Amino acid sequence: MALKLSAILLAACAALLALAAPLLAGDPDMLQDICVADYKSLQGPLRVNGFPCKLEANVTADDFFFGGLAKAADVYTGNPMGSSVTSADVESLPGLNTLGVSMARTDYAPWGGATPPHAHPRATEILFVVEGTLEVGFVTTASRLLARTVGKGEVFVFPRGLVHFQRSVGAAPAVAISAFNSQLPGTQAVAAALFGAAPAVPSDVLARAFQIDGGVVENVKSKFTPK
């Protein structure tokens, strides 16, 4: 089973990266063959986008390798959402710097494991279900929900910047692979952004927005640890 899943993941990675080709990238075009992220130079020269480049002489094949998507994450221990995301973006795979693509694996617990409403401000997401069944959807700027069930081997697209969610609706754990047209798509969870921001969003603003009592807002805020 593990070998079969690895083969499926490998095929999915190849297909999704092809779909997220650099010509469709949301990031600026690269100006050289490679620009491996130099994490040690972040205090150095001013950078406008992305990371400074390593000297090419210091680049190795390992700069273009990441094995993190092969392993299932723990979605049960201390995990109220029942889901876990493993990202293969420029922060974990330095060779992605300036290439305009990234990927992620999400594991879901059966019957309700969810990625709560969130948005990626810098990328469109294309999601491929490897195992299980997901209910997915996004909300347009006209407040219209477009949602459906997506099964094993099927694909769904979340347009850039729109709030969306995924939820497992099957009796077996679910696994999905996502590709993004950005080396660092960013993830902004709706609830955490509103109720866990630092400094805090004023409670009276949220009370008016949600048309609820201020005490309810304070109670919700108490469940989020400001970052």
In 3D, which of 42, 43, 44 has the Cα closest to residue 97? 42
Quick check: helix, strand or coil at residue 40? helix
The answer on whether 125 is annotated among ligand-binding residues is yes
| Alpha helices, DSSP H, located in the chain | 2-19, 190-195, 203-210, 214-221
Is residue 58 helix, strand or coil?
helix
Residue 221's CB is within 10 A of a number of other CB atoms, namely 17
Closest Cα to residue 108, out of 140, 66, 144, 152? 152
Ligand-binding site membership of 120 (annotated): yes
CB within 8 Å of 172: residues ≥ 6 apart: 110, 131, 132
164, amino acid identity? H
The answer to the question of whether 118 is labelled as a binding residue is: yes
- Is 154 annotated to bind a ligand? Reply is no
> Residue 227 to residues 125, 192, 197: CA-CA distances in angstroms?
25, 9, 7
Known binding-site positions for Mn(2+): 118, 120, 125, 164
Known binding-site positions: 118, 120, 125, 164
Known binding-site positions for oxalate: 120, 125
